[in-house]
Amino acid sequence: MSPSPLNPKTTHYEFLGPAGTLAISVGVPILTYAQYFACSEVAGGCPPALSLHTTCLRVLAALSDPEWWKSLWDTEATIAYFGWYAFCVVAWALLPGDIVEGTTLRDGRKIKYKINAFSTFLLALGITTGLILRNGPEAFTFIYNKWVGLLTASLLMSFLQACYVYAASFRPGKLLALGGNTGNLIYDWFIGRELNPSIGSFDIMSFNELRPGLILWVLINISMVCEQAVRRGGFSQVTDSMWLVLAFQTWYVADGLYNESALFTTMDIITDGFGFMLSMGDLFYVPFVYSLQARYLAFHPVVLGSLRTLGIFLFNFWGYYIFRTANAEKNDFRNGSNPKNLKFMTTARGSKLLTSGWWGRSRHPNYLGDLIMALAWSLPTGFETPITYYYVIFFTFFLMHRQHRDDKACQKKYGNDWDKYTKLVPYRIVPYVY
């Protein structure tokens, strides 16, 4: 399909262009497997107590051993993973849900979305809880035991999906993402060529953003709780730190799913295409990397005591409060209401920007709340290893980069008005600091 006024050719590369996107496509899976082998019981600890020399020898021995490569694949885990994905599709199709319209696209269309991610979550939780109550915690340690096989299966699914949406984007009449139409195969496949790929009324991007990855993250955590319960002699022996991680992350996921319609005003849905970056992020990275704390606690229990438990709980609540109120202020405002009577400026484009409340304190106050929560999720693991803090560190760089991308996109969208806004609200994420 040649560029058209509606689908102009992308002339600017992000992520250091094709070489950068290829490096991320290969590097992120390698790092994710490496994270497992650097922090697991199978490998001998978190990290295993080995010298650098022994570690290098071990890595080389594994990489040159065909049996090690074969061990990354597990047919049973692959069937289970694809079954899980199919369950989510069937739940989307069969469970009732309101139909909500997204924002107006460049071609004047509005996509209709079925809102039933939260009921899918409740159904998955109900089935899991029933299974555990009936058969005990042993019945749900499958995910802990099949970790590497499931990781490979989710990577395969991410890859297949990205190839499918890339190929389908060449069908006539597609609306392409402004950033994903360079003509370079690797780059466009990674960034996502089509803005909102779909099969009939099944919107692939919004489905992936919320269901098979996010819900699986909670199921993974439940499996880690079960693993700890089996080892320690029942649920009553599961540590306070493990319950905290489960509660925090379940709450975060439930909140995202409950507020499903808020997704339709996010950058991913409005401006980004759906390619390997989001496919891998949603299906592979989020569930298997974000659950690191619970996986660590499954084989390395930490008892916090009531004071530290309360302190971490309050810290997480503080982050959640900022995250939720900031997102609610913007969502209400973008949906035409302003219940707190916040100040705003009107741009030449006609669109308005909040200049008081959370959005007057920094240009991405919601990221601040997210970062506080990320730290609160790592604190229950204690301080014996830095690896469980990987998520906070990764997330800080991720959100700084995302803020930079969004700033550039808004500068392009609003021009001088954005400059005025950044003068009024100079801090990017953390008020008075950054």
Ligand X SMILES: NC(=O)c1ccc[n+]([C@@H]2O[C@H](COP(=O)([O-])OP(=O)(O)OC[C@H]3O[C@@H](n4cnc5c(N)ncnc54)[C@H](OP(=O)(O)O)[C@@H]3O)[C@@H](O)[C@H]2O)c1
Minimum CB distance to ligand X, residue 427 (Å): 12
Taken as a whole, the chain contains a residue count of: 434
Between 94 and 267, CB nearer to ligand X: 267
Chain positions 358 to 397 lying near ligand X, rule: CB under 6 A, are: 359, 364, 366-367, 370
For the bound state, the minimum distance from the C-beta of residue 61 to ligand X, rounded and expressed in Å, comes to 35
Taking the C-alpha atoms of residue 7 and residue 175, their distance in angstroms, rounded to an integer, is 7
Name residue 199's beta-bridge partners: 202
Token couple for 79: 């069937």
Cβ–Cβ < 8 Å for 368, 362 = yes
Give the count of beta carbons closer than 10 Å to the beta carbon of residue 380.
27
Q: Is 351 in the site for ligand X (CB under 6 A)?
A: yes
Find how far residue 75's CA is from the centre of its chain: 26
State the binding string over 272-311 for ligand X (x if CB under 6 A, else -).
----------------------------------------
Q: Closer CB to ligand X, residue 228 or residue 316?
A: 316
Residue 296 CB neighbour total at 10 angstroms: 27
Q: Does 406 bind ligand X (CB under 6 A)?
A: yes
Provide CB contacts within 8 A for 6, sequence distance 6+.
Answer: 106, 107, 175
Q: What amino acid is encoded at 150 in this protein?
A: L
Between CA 46 and CA 381 the distance in angstroms is: 11
Query: Which residues lie closer than 8 Å to 134 by C-beta, 6 or more apart?
Result: none
Closest by CA to 243, choosing from 256, 224, 257, is 224
Is 217 among the residues that bind ligand X (CB under 6 A)?
no
Based on the shown chain and the rule CB under 6 A, indicate whether residue 40 belongs to the binding site for ligand X: no
| Beta-bridge mates of residue 345 | 353
Residue placing its CB nearer to ligand X in the complex, 203 or 406:
406
Smallest gap from Cβ 122 to ligand X, in A, equals 21
Verify cis geometry, omega within 30 degrees of 0, for the bond prior to 426: no
Provide the sign of the torsion angle of the four alpha carbons 263, 268, 273, 276, taken in this order.
negative
Q: Which is nearer to ligand X, 41 or 332 (CB)?
A: 332
Q: Which residue has the tokens 């604190």?
A: 379
How many residues bind ligand X (CB under 6 A)? The answer is: 20
Q: Is 205 in the site for ligand X (CB under 6 A)?
A: no
What character string, x for contact with ligand X (CB under 6 A) and - otherwise, covers 331-350? --xx----------------
113, 217, 323, 389: residue in contact with ligand X (rule CB under 6 A): 323
Between 146 and 364, name the residue whose CB sits nearer to ligand X: 364
| 101 phi/psi in degrees, rounded to 5 | -90, 140
Which residue's CB is nearer to ligand X, number 260 or number 406? 406
* Residue 267 binds ligand X, judged by CB under 6 A: yes
Identify the residue among 266, 309, 325, 338 touching ligand X (CB under 6 A).
266
- Residue at shortest CB range from ligand X: 266
Footprint of ligand X (CB under 6 A): 266-268, 323, 327, 330, 333-334, 351, 353-354, 359, 364, 366-367, 370, 402, 406, 409-410
